[in-house]
Amino acid sequence: MKKKVVVGMSGGVDSSVSAYLLQKEGYEVIGLFMRNWDSMVNNDIEGNPNLNNDICPQEQDYNDALEVCNKLGIELHRVNFVKEYWDNVFSYFLDELKKGRTPNPDLMCNKYIKFDAFIEEAKKLGADYVATGHYARTKDGHLYRGIDTSKDQSYFLAQVSSKQLENVLFPVGNLNKTEVRKIALEADIPTAKKKDSTGICFIGERNYQKFIHNYLKKNPGDIIDVDTKEVIGTHEGLMNYTIGQRKQVGIAGFKDRHFVVGKNVEKNELYVAFGEDPESLYSDECIIENINFISDERPEKCTAKFRYRGEDYEVFLEYLDNGEISVKYPSKAKAVTPGQACVLYDGEECLGSGIIKEIKKDGKKLWYL
């Protein structure tokens, strides 16, 4: 009897090729499309309901997934996770913004939706395995980087547990994006030329600040030059800014290059530094919480990524009594940001991750929060 695989069909080329490859390998393939966001609250860039378009992006994704499944001759089921997504991902996102942090909702979506609620739904369909179009690899409950280093998505999976990764397949994890596109074109898969989605899934291509203001009120405060301690402008709310940001900071009359280097939630102050590469953007230690180890390994030395597109840093770990971890990086790292994930690696293996709580330099906590 064929093993049954339920594939998370997103309407993109990666999940489409995943379903195609599994079908070629002889699995019984079933598609499952997740509706995670209520499109009626996905407002346009002016904050108005998106009523002018004939079809919203989410519905287009579903139609694309359906077209692919029809092409492959497989069933496509649709499941509504709007409540689960709101409770576990979007509420978390808003709470983190209120704290002045920069959250990464994709990690929580994988943890609570794609590898939790989705797996439970797949089991109802009789799945022996589940599969997604992530660029990552897994073996015996261990997680590894995808072959395509420019597309590797192990960073976004680093809050998923080893248990959740059991019986999970990543068919494109051993391929690069060019190969995936080529397979899709040769197989005449309808999504072969579809562009990759960008941005946060519930925001999409919309104006970030205007979208956020639908949920969090503007809260203007002072922008302060960290070197002169002078007030040089007014911000519209700390949730609109992230560490290392240098565009749309809201400082009029300053032509010199400048960066957001810190926040103070209690005083509602945004700190800015001028220069090509301000020293105040650098740190050598961070404290991480919400620790999730996928591997059984508890190293004292490994490498870490502090953001998805960031480089790997050699780090030293100190396990604290309260369950948090001190991550030290002697070479110093730029724009390490509270709320982002610190993802730990041993070569190709993703060991796990924690959420960055605070930043330090020379043993002193910085002014970020």
Q: Active-site residue numbers?
A: 109, 201
| CA-CA-CA-CA torsion sign (302, 303, 305, 306) | positive
- List the one residue out of 29, 74, 37, 81 whose CA is nearest residue 59: 37
DSSP string, 216-265: S----EEEEETTT--EEEEES-GGG--TT--SS---TT--S-EEEEEEET
Ramachandran area for residue 353 (φ above 0: left; ψ -120 to 50: alpha; else beta)? beta
- List the one residue out of 123, 127, 147 whose CA is nearest residue 135: 147
* Chain centroid, CA 134 distance in Å: 12
* Chain centroid, CA 311 distance in Å: 16
Strands 28-35 and 4-8: parallel
Task: Provide the 3-class DSSP secondary structure of residue 31.
Answer: strand
The C-alpha angle with vertex 181 and arms to 177 and 182, in degrees rounded to 5, equals: 115
The distance in angstroms from the start CA to the end CA of the chain is 57
Strands 28-35 and 258-264: unpaired
Number of H helices, E strands in the chain: 8, 18
**Residue 74 and residue 72: Cα distance in Å, rounded?**
6
